[in-house]
Structure 1
């Protein structure tokens, strides 16, 4: 006898999908770890019904891996538990056809559960669900969307050994200029962009505006605002995979490093978030012109108060920290402001009904499930403590010194701040917190013991 699916997926979903898509030969089953890396398997068509009836056993260690796929024993998810199997179950509504694959394949997102059906608490998706459930207890539903910034790079590095922007896939034209907002520049990548949009459509993702961003080879793709913040995080995860796959099919490399090119802006993953009440009203929307709602101010206050100890979530890798610099469009303080891109917490101008907070610290290399969970927990912290965000920054936040907690300036400090944070333990849950911090500590140790080209350049012939 099989266990009922704790994720809510049904066998009918799989059977209907197979009947509608007789061409599908295989299915990617994808579970995301603390780094947001998709781990899983490719199963054959005939295996799909059993996935929905019985789930699929996967080792618990799959969530205790570092960026290289190596075990991090300090997470407690490896030999402490005998590396036993838990059960991964499909997420309802995520079984979708993949675009431009040979032979035809599909994809389904998975989440990990204990054998008795309880959520496995080192799964990032469950960490976000905990926060969504907390808001539901208060009659509130988080809505949101992520922005996706990325680079398109050539497969081969330049003569100097550094990465370089990809030539246009249309006609091979090279450009090393900052073609920010150039419409004509976008035309050279239209065949690739068309495949990205087609892949998004097959995945049920409403991908919207494409922009040439503020660096050679950098682009931004916006996503439709979702009434369900979990769906917004799913969209971002799936879209990154789509962009990477379609770029590869066109002979270029999609890069989601936060700062791949030293002299230019890095790539962010700005998170737009608002809250709807049981009547479907946006509680951040001001009722009186010119007077901010108290809930919006308390949310900003909570996000400012918790940002410093949460920066590891928003900037999880060594490279993440290269993005933060003056006048780089990446924030260097906890400042908030209206219609101001120099701050960390921006209240965009526009229709009052769409009032929201744009959370700007995260790089595109961050895990959107953990980012959203941490941001939502910060908002609840502000509500519970009735925190005032302090004065708005109306000018240049890079030049001003706004009041508020100072954020860490480098990766190691962020790891220690996260390790000691009671707030982050509550935001992610103790197990997810331990897993994430220990994975980051192991990655820091890996980098620290690596002799880099910088070492040789500075010291080989000089000391």
Structure 2
């Protein structure tokens, strides 16, 4: 059958001809948690994947973060755990840098056997939002920022994770060396391999900085005219950073808050809208006056933020990141050139006007994040929503009543998401059910776990 994803035999044939050294391929399907699930195939199997797709069990999209089945999704025994068909995503067939023997990789998307999109696949949710905006003559452009920690493989004397020593010379630093260029030099061999891997995969990785915690870094990605490709970039970049870090003897950590006394890691998403001629509709036409479309988009994002927080902060650990004056937003506020708000309009030329959406942790699924943000933007435009007054100065002090509208913890976010008609529309009813049930199963797992903290607080005291 013709590939419903748009992949072609010509792409696979050309790749194999250009890379006779590659012996195997990772085929990777991204689940609701952003975890890559799939197989490693031998070289001779690749053409078959492009000709006929590859059968994979439907249950692969109904797994929790540990890989356990979540029966309440309806994707396990309700369907007999039958096979569906995964197809390659065009443009994601790439070599993997530094593997021995040489391997390649291709991202996959799930479809029913008749070629219809499998609606619990997160990538399809983003595709629907992109298509809905296109029907209105609007085309989203954007890019993600990737914050992460490089940690030592060994814990410290108290069993806590600790920043990795420099891979260049083993030097240890426990300081917050934010924006230190000299500190980056210690990780130069690793970042050189990350850049080489990104170049091989066509990922526009750009600036690296030492971030606001020991062992924390940020990689930025160049703006994409297609938001779908921007999300693919982030998925692929996380995979290659993790792979290259492991090759250099350290751990790339994408938890939102791995070290309790330092700032967590975000996944800020920059987004704008282009019209059919490629013009940015967020650009103001009169100096000193914001574009009404920009303000309406901000209004939609502010109004839908509370019920969407489970997408932006999907795990128990995600909620440890939201601390006042930690560069993580605590209320649905907006401002200009201000990093203390949730929705930031960066400084710069008017033609590059965009929204930086700051609530998401790096542990979130970029497809779901982008889909939910685009749906919020569309709601704001359609209903001409007002974002309220711009926040200036300290957004944490100005949060006030706006903060009270936000879920206070993971459980509250799950409840808000479950009852949200907006989120059901943003993700589609099937994925909405799948995602919420997976999160509820994970919540129950955490809630019944007796931790070391329990023993520390209560063992000898109650």
Structure 1 length-normalised TM: 0.99
- Alpha-carbon distance between aligned partners in 1 of 2:438 and 2:351, rounded to the nearest angstrom: 41
Task: Kindly indicate whether residue 130 of structure 2 is the aligned counterpart of residue 135 of structure 1.
Answer: no
Corresponding position of 1:406:
405
- Counterparts in 2 of 1:237-276, with a 5 A limit? 237-276=235-274
Judge conservation of contact 2:149–2:253 (CA < 8 Å) in 1: yes
- Alpha-carbon distance between aligned partners in 1 of 2:75 and 2:399, rounded to the nearest angstrom: 43
Structure 1 residue 406: Cα displacement: 1.3
SS of the residue aligned with 2:75? coil
Give structure 1 regions of 4+ aligned residues with deviation exceeding 2 angstroms: 401-405
Task: Kindly indicate whether residue 455 of structure 2 is the aligned counterpart of residue 456 of structure 1.
Answer: yes
Structure 1 residue 395: Cα displacement: 1.4
Judge conservation of contact 1:144–1:228 (CA < 8 Å) in 2: yes
- Alpha-carbon distance between aligned partners in 1 of 2:235 and 2:133, rounded to the nearest angstrom: 23
- Alpha-carbon distance between aligned partners in 2 of 1:455 and 1:55, rounded to the nearest angstrom: 48
Judge conservation of contact 2:330–2:399 (CA < 8 Å) in 1: no
Corresponding position of 1:290:
288
SS of the residue aligned with 2:314? coil
SS of the residue aligned with 2:41? strand
**Equivalenced residues, count:** 461
Deviation by residue 1:175-200 (Cα, 9 ceiling, x = unmatched): 00000000000000000000000010
Structure 1 residue 172: Cα displacement: 0.2
- Alpha-carbon distance between aligned partners in 2 of 1:8 and 1:334, rounded to the nearest angstrom: 38
Structure 1 residue 403: Cα displacement: 5.4
| More deviation, 414-423/380-389 | 380-389
Corresponding position of 1:434:
433
Deviation by residue 1:303-348 (Cα, 9 ceiling, x = unmatched): 0000000000000000000000110000000010000000000000
- Alpha-carbon distance between aligned partners in 2 of 1:242 and 1:451, rounded to the nearest angstrom: 34
Structure 1 residue 103: Cα displacement: 0.5
RMSD of equivalent CA atoms: 0.7
Judge conservation of contact 1:338–1:347 (CA < 8 Å) in 2: yes
1:223 to 198, 208, 221: 221
- Alpha-carbon distance between aligned partners in 2 of 1:403 and 1:13, rounded to the nearest angstrom: 54
SS of the residue aligned with 1:399? helix
Judge conservation of contact 1:91–1:110 (CA < 8 Å) in 2: yes
In the alignment, structure 2 segments of 5+ residues that lack a partner are none
Corresponding position of 2:111:
113
SS of the residue aligned with 1:143? strand
Structure 1 residue 384: Cα displacement: 1.2
- Alpha-carbon distance between aligned partners in 2 of 1:265 and 1:336, rounded to the nearest angstrom: 21
- Alpha-carbon distance between aligned partners in 2 of 1:436 and 1:17, rounded to the nearest angstrom: 35
- Alpha-carbon distance between aligned partners in 2 of 1:125 and 1:402, rounded to the nearest angstrom: 36
1:190 to 188, 208, 216: 188
- Alpha-carbon distance between aligned partners in 1 of 2:17 and 2:386, rounded to the nearest angstrom: 55
Judge conservation of contact 1:72–1:438 (CA < 8 Å) in 2: yes
- Alpha-carbon distance between aligned partners in 1 of 2:7 and 2:152, rounded to the nearest angstrom: 40
Structure 1 residue 272: Cα displacement: 0.2
- Alpha-carbon distance between aligned partners in 1 of 2:398 and 2:372, rounded to the nearest angstrom: 26
- Alpha-carbon distance between aligned partners in 1 of 2:255 and 2:90, rounded to the nearest angstrom: 30
- Alpha-carbon distance between aligned partners in 1 of 2:350 and 2:399, rounded to the nearest angstrom: 29
- Counterparts in 2 of 1:100-179, with a 5 A limit? 100-179=98-177
- Alpha-carbon distance between aligned partners in 1 of 2:104 and 2:75, rounded to the nearest angstrom: 30
- Counterparts in 2 of 1:350-365, with a 5 A limit? 350-365=348-363
Judge conservation of contact 2:126–2:370 (CA < 8 Å) in 1: yes
1:344 to 342, 345, 362: 342
SS of the residue aligned with 2:142? strand
Structure 1 residue 400: Cα displacement: 1.4
SS of the residue aligned with 1:209? strand
SS of the residue aligned with 1:377? helix
Judge conservation of contact 1:390–1:403 (CA < 8 Å) in 2: no
- Alpha-carbon distance between aligned partners in 2 of 1:9 and 1:240, rounded to the nearest angstrom: 23
Structure 1 residue 401: Cα displacement: 3.1
Structure 2 length-normalised TM: 0.99
